[in-house]
Amino acid sequence: MLHMSSPIRCATPLTRGVAVVAVGGNALTAETQRGTADEIAANAAQMASCLGELVAAGWQVAVVHGNGPQVGNLAMQQDAAEDLVPVQPLHQLCAMTQGQLGSVLVRAVDRECGAGKAVCVVTHVGVDPQDPAFETPTKPIGPFFDEDRAQAYAAQRGWTVAEDSGRGWRRVVASPRPESIVEMQAIRTLLEAGHVVLAAGGGGVAVDAGSLDGVDAVIDKDRASAALATAVGATELYLLTGVDCVLLDFGTPRQRPAHRMTQQEAAQHLADGQFPAGSMGPKVEAALRFLDDGGHRAIITSVGRLAEAVAGDPTAGTSIERAHAATRTAS
């Protein structure tokens, strides 16, 4: 018999609308971790506790998780065993990580909210095969290397590699924009039935939007979460990452936190190059896209500060609001 830790805490009636939470792959496998099953499960448990707070507060919750570290690790395992078993294409590895991480997160949420509360939908996301992103890979996956080792892997395996925000070198792959979510109706139905829905994991399995053939790419989970949030009519989008808030002039003596930005301010900082394409850039872009499409508020924060951000703590994360919402707050 399965015993839940505290299922009653999630029993509050759902009255506040839909919130979409985007969870970075680095939140499930931290930079200092190797990505063992025990590490991923422990990180998922911490995340599920925060998601339980959202459910208890009355939100319908959809979760989009990243898979950058995990899908890159899996690709390396595939390459290492290529003499024994066939290597699978990248879009299939994305499907594998959806199942892997979805299972861990579903069980963690169910321990908080009761067995059967969470559901994982293996989601396919349509992209344009002619997207310019295929010519300029930017999505980091897998572990960090020093430059010499990264360049050696690039030569041996045909990788594209790049330096990642001062933390080391990683493999980078194409990250096209999501155009459609194939399982959208099923996701809406599950949300309306009161489930916590894990969808578009790892950004979703990239498929040709016309033929549904698999496409080798890793869709950015923040962009996928913005598309999902718009499609389900979410009012709030939470973009979880490894830092508590957005930092301006990151890595310089002028580095400083930004806890609140208008759409215009965020767009200007993005245009000024404050947010790199492989790290904070997609989160800010996703927030702006969500607000442009009618969302009320997007918050960028860490897993540990999520509950405080939901409760309205102005120091918990970076809140980017629609222009009219910011005006009302100021008045």
The answer to whether 117 is a known catalytic residue is: no
Q: How far apart are the first and last CA of the chain?
A: 54
Q: What is the spatial distance between Cα 109 and Cα 284, in angstroms, rounded to a whole number?
A: 27
Query: Residues 73, 117, 139, 204: which is the catalytic one?
Result: 139
Report DSSP state, residue 202. G
Query: Residues 26, 43, 67, 73: which is the catalytic one?
Result: 26
Give the chain's largest Cα–Cα span.
Answer: 66
> Where do the DSSP E strands lie in the chain?
18-23, 60-65, 118-121, 124-127, 139-145, 160-163, 169-173, 180-181, 196-199, 205-208, 236-241, 246-248, 256-258, 260-262, 297-302, 318-321
Query: Residues 35, 283, 295, 317: which is the catalytic one?
Result: 283
Helix, strand, or coil here: 1? coil
Query: Residues 24, 35, 68, 221: which is the catalytic one?
Result: 221
CB 258 within 8 A of CB 248: yes
CB 84 within 8 A of CB 153: no
The answer to whether 26 is a known catalytic residue is: yes
The answer to whether 283 is a known catalytic residue is: yes
CB 320 within 8 A of CB 262: yes
Residues involved in catalysis: 25-26, 139, 221, 283
